[in-house]
Amino acid sequence: MNVLIAGAGPTGLTLGIELARRGIAVRVIDKATEFFDGSRGDGLQPRTLEVFEDLGVLDEVLKQGRSVPLMKIHLSGQLVDERRMAEPVEPTADIPYPNAWMLGQSRTEKILRDKLAEYGVQVELDTAIVGFSQTTDVVTAELSTGETVTADYLVGADGGKSFVRKQLGIAFEGTTDESIRMLLGDVAADGLDHEVGYWFAAKDNPMSGIAMTPLSGGDQFQFGAPLDGEDADTSIEGLQALVDNYAGPGTAKLRDLTWSTVWRPNVRLAEKFRVGRVFIAGDAAHVHPPTGGQGLNTGVQDAYNLGWKLADGREEVLATYETERRTNAARVLGISEDLMQKHVDGDESALERGENTRQLDVSYRDLADTRPLTSGDRAPDAPVVDAEGNKVRLFELFRGPHETLLRFSPTTPSTHPHAVEITSPEAFAIYHAQPGDEILIRPDGYLA
C-alpha cells in the first residue's frame, strides 16, 4: 500500500509518521520552497502531548518548549495584574500531562520532520499537487514537478486554502470576520523579561493593546495586537511605534522581526472529510480562530485518527474517520468561536479556566454510523505492572502502532499479542472495571 500526503504542516507530518512507522510507503510533499519559520500555533494541548508520547517525540517537545507563562498586565505603563491563561494543575495517575505546553509551531514541525526522517521519509519541498483523479482502485496525482504519482490513498493536509478540498468540490462553510483583524508575528524585545508574557494597553481602553508571549529556544516573543481599523504596518518600525504607544517609549527595543502578518478570524468546516480514496485533514477540513489554541491540535488528532485506519484499509473502518473527526471539529469550532466572542467582549475568564480546550474529553461515544467500530472515550493512563513485574504506566504499553487488550484480573490466558493483565486497584478504579472485564484500546488510544 502507498499513500500520498499533500502538505507537510503538523497534520501531514503526524500522518506521515503514523503510516511510516507501520511500514507503509508514504510520500509527504509540500508546495513551499522552504520550511516556514513562524511560531503560529504555539500552544500544545494535553491530548496532543499524549499523542506525541505515543509517536516518540514528547521528550524533545518537552525539552525544547516551556510552560504557559505568567502574563503581566500593564495599563498606561502601570503593572495592574498578573495572570496565567490557565492555572497549572498537578499530574494525576490518569492524566500525566494536564497542562498546555508552549512551543512555536516551526519547532514542533522540525521535531516531527526529524522523527519522520528516522523512518527514511524526507519532506519533498517545492512539490505541489496540481491535479488528481481517482477510480475505485487508485488515485493518480499530478505534481508541479511534472511527475505523475499513483497511490492507494491521497490525503490533503494542505491547509486552509486546500487545493485538494477545492478540487473535490467540498463546500467549506463558515465565516471570515472582516471586522476583526490582528497583527501577529515573532520579534525579540530588549528591555522585557523573557521569562514572562506581557499585555500592554491604555487604562481607558484595556482591550486594545499588544500581547507579547515569550517563545522558547531564543529570545523572541510572539506578539498579537488587535487592529482597530488602522492601516496595518507589518514593518519593525510600525511594530515599534505600536509597542511605544501601548507600553510607553523606551519600554522595549524591538529587533529580529522574523514573521509578521495581518490575520482575520476564519471559522469554517468542510461539508465532507472524504471522497472515495481522497481524504482531507487539519486546516484543510476546518479552520479556527486562535483563541483556545485548537487548530494545530485538532489537525494532529485528525492525523492520529486517520493513520491506523488507512493502514487497516477496511471500508467500514475508513468510513468512521469522517463521522468521528467531523463531529469533533464541529464541537471544537464551537468552543474556539465562543472563546473568540468572549475575548472580543472582554471576558477572559473562560480562557483562564482552560475550559474544554485540553481535548482530553474528546469522545467518539454514541456516534451514529461508526459500527463495527463502536467506540468510546479516551483511554486514560494508569499505573500497572508489566509482564516482567516492573511498575509501568499504561501509556508506555500503548506506545507503538498496535491496539492493546486490557484484561482485569483474568482467569484464562489470552492469545492477543498486546494483552495486559491488570491487578492494580488504582487501574481498576480509573477504568471502573470488575474482575474478568476485558477492554480493547484502539491504536489511537480510545476505548473500542
Q: Enter the C-alpha cell of residue 342.
A: 468572549
- Sheet (strand 78-84) strand order: 78-84, 70-75, 197-202, 205-214, 220-227, 181-190, 253-263
Binding mask 96-115 for ligand FAD (x = CB under 6 A): ---------x----------
Judged by DSSP in three states, 369 sits in: coil
Binding mask 252-291 for ligand FAD (x = CB under 6 A): -----------x------------------xx------x-
The piece of 40-48, 60-68, 200-208, 305-313 that touches ligand FAD (CB under 6 A) is 40-48
- In a 13 Å sphere around the CA of 400, the CA atoms on its Cβ side amount to 9
**In 179-294, alpha helices (H):** 236-247
Interface with ligand FAD, residue 11, by CB under 6 A: yes
- Interacting residue with ligand FAD among 24, 61, 184, 333 (CB under 6 A): 184
Nearer to ligand FAD by C-beta: 203 or 353? Answer: 353
CB 21 → ligand FAD: shortest distance, Å? 18
- Interacting residue with ligand FAD among 7, 69, 265, 380 (CB under 6 A): 7
- Nearest residue to 277 (alpha-carbon basis) of 402, 182, 151: 151
Interface with ligand FAD, residue 163, by CB under 6 A: yes
Interface with ligand FAD, residue 69, by CB under 6 A: no
Q: What are phi and psi of 223, to 5 degrees?
A: -105, 155
- Interacting residue with ligand FAD among 16, 43, 46, 410 (CB under 6 A): 43
Q: How many CB atoms are closer than 10 A to CB 389?
A: 6
Peptide bond into 10 cis (omega under 30): no
Interface with ligand FAD, residue 307, by CB under 6 A: no
Interface with ligand FAD, residue 359, by CB under 6 A: no
Tell me how many residues contact ligand FAD (CB under 6 A). 33
Instruction: Give the burial class of 213: count Cβ atoms within 10 A of its Cβ; 0-12 exposed, 13-18 middle, 19 or more buried.
Output: buried
The footprint of ligand FAD (CB under 6 A) covers: 6-12, 29-32, 40-43, 105, 128-129, 157-159, 163, 184, 263, 282-283, 290, 293-297, 299
